[in-house]
Amino acid sequence: MPTHIEIKKLDDFRWLIPRKGNMRTEGLVYADAPMIAVIRKDASLEQVANVACLPGIVGRSLAMPDIHWGYGFPIGGVAAFEMEDGIVSPGGVGYDINCGVRLLRSGLEAVDIKDEIRRLVDALFRNIPAGVGSRRKDLKLSAHEMNSALTKGVGWAVSRGYGKPEDLEYIEERGCIQGGRPEYVSQRAHTRGRDQLGTLGSGNHFVEVGYVDEVYDEAIARGLSLHQGQVTVIVHTGSRGFGHQVCDDYIKVLLKASAKYKIDLPDKQLCCAPITSEESQRYLSAMACAANFAFCNRQLITHWVRETFEEVFQMGPRRLGLDLVYDVCHNIAKVETHKVDGQERKLCIHRKGATRAFPPHSPFLPKEYKEVGQPVLIPGDMGRYSYVLVGTDTALKETFGSTCHGAGRVMSRRQADKVARGRAIIRELEDQGIYVRGAGKGTIREEIPEAYKDVADVVNVVHQAGIGKKVAKLRPMGVIKG
């Protein structure tokens, strides 16, 4: 339903929600005027205001331009909380813990593969399980190995031969959120996840083969080893049923904890507990396990992408050059140090449908990226384009080093399915030069381009507001969908 939250224009790309009622701080939304008109159609602005009511919030309750309604927090929401008096909320992370995206560059040019794109996409679809409940039949993990994946992240995958050691350098947190404790994860979550490593899942998750269509900053693109016409691969997926179950389990725990600690909630979906509480610490440990599961999931899929390219093009790894540009989280709560009012403070940063965007010279960047900043990967829909950006000092100052994560839905899956019925979506995409394979026609209907904002508009707001800097635009050639 439409929101009636008061909102004031600060400039062309920033909108303030004034502090009122039980709000402990203001809300700030990054958007342009046409976007605000769309955003007002759901309850996401009210959710921004609700987050501002939570104990220990530091700075403003933030929303990126891809904001839309979510569970508790809006998708596209960012909030920081004090370590002493603040809270942790599963709704500020989301059900698909560490849903994220990684980008691979290659030594191939678009002209080299255009005649083989069907064969390549068919092979990827054959080698990477996709769809609801998809499982990898040839990867069976013992309980011990599963626990190693949950605690060590991509380090475990590389030790098993699924990738190379240098991959770790180009993954947020080197592919491992510390503090994972499998004993705080339910048996149900273990059971759901054990056969799902290396699978794409469903919804908006995808593997996309494309190419660099435009370069906006030649120097930064060179710093990321990207050039016009170069073939790229995007992997977008998360923690599958494992992360969903962790979230579901701990929402029940935190609902009880909210009452136990007498936290006045504007919405029960914002159930939370003090960061220092046993309940929050257990959740953060289980969340770390789910985040590491997701990192491993993208790593295994990357391994099978590399194998598939070798199979189709009969080339070795050196000639193919499928190297990792970067891998970023979208749904996570992390303890980070940020400067607030001139003083460095440890904070728990909730990013839900938002991407970390650290600037040049950040100590958390690989040495090759020190001068250019952290790569920020913004996937679009299967019929348009995606973007590569880098983080900025403005993002670090205003948003705790955060920016948008994608286009943002404007239609529910049910609405999109209704709009797309009777249309030959796959043929429409083929007419645009994009070959798509999906686990089912229903998923492809739900993911039609019209179901999303135009990611170019979202990225333009980010760029103009200074919380990300455009580097390159990627166009799809072939996509596999869940």
- Write out the catalytic residue numbers: 405
Q: Pairing between strand 8-11 and 14-17?
A: antiparallel
Torsion angle (degrees, nearest 10) of CA 242, 243, 245, 247: 170
Among 207, 190, 197, which Cα is nearest to 138's?
197
Given CA atoms 64, 226, 202, 292 in this order, what sign does their dihedral have?
A: negative
The DSSP line for 8-34 is: EEEETTEEEE---TT-SS-EEEE--HH
Radius of gyration of the chain, Cα coordinates, nearest whole angstrom: 21
Instruction: Assess contact for 124 and 313: CB atoms under 8 A.
Output: no
Sign of CA dihedral 428, 433, 434, 435: positive
Sign of the alpha-carbon dihedral angle for 436, 470, 297, 303: positive
Instruction: Round to whole Å and give the CA distance between 370 and 387.
Output: 20
DSSP label of 36: H
Give which of 477, 481, 480, 357 is closest to 116, Cα–Cα: 477
CA pair distance 242, 192, nearest whole angstrom: 6
Q: How far apart are CA 285 and CA 287, in angstroms?
A: 5
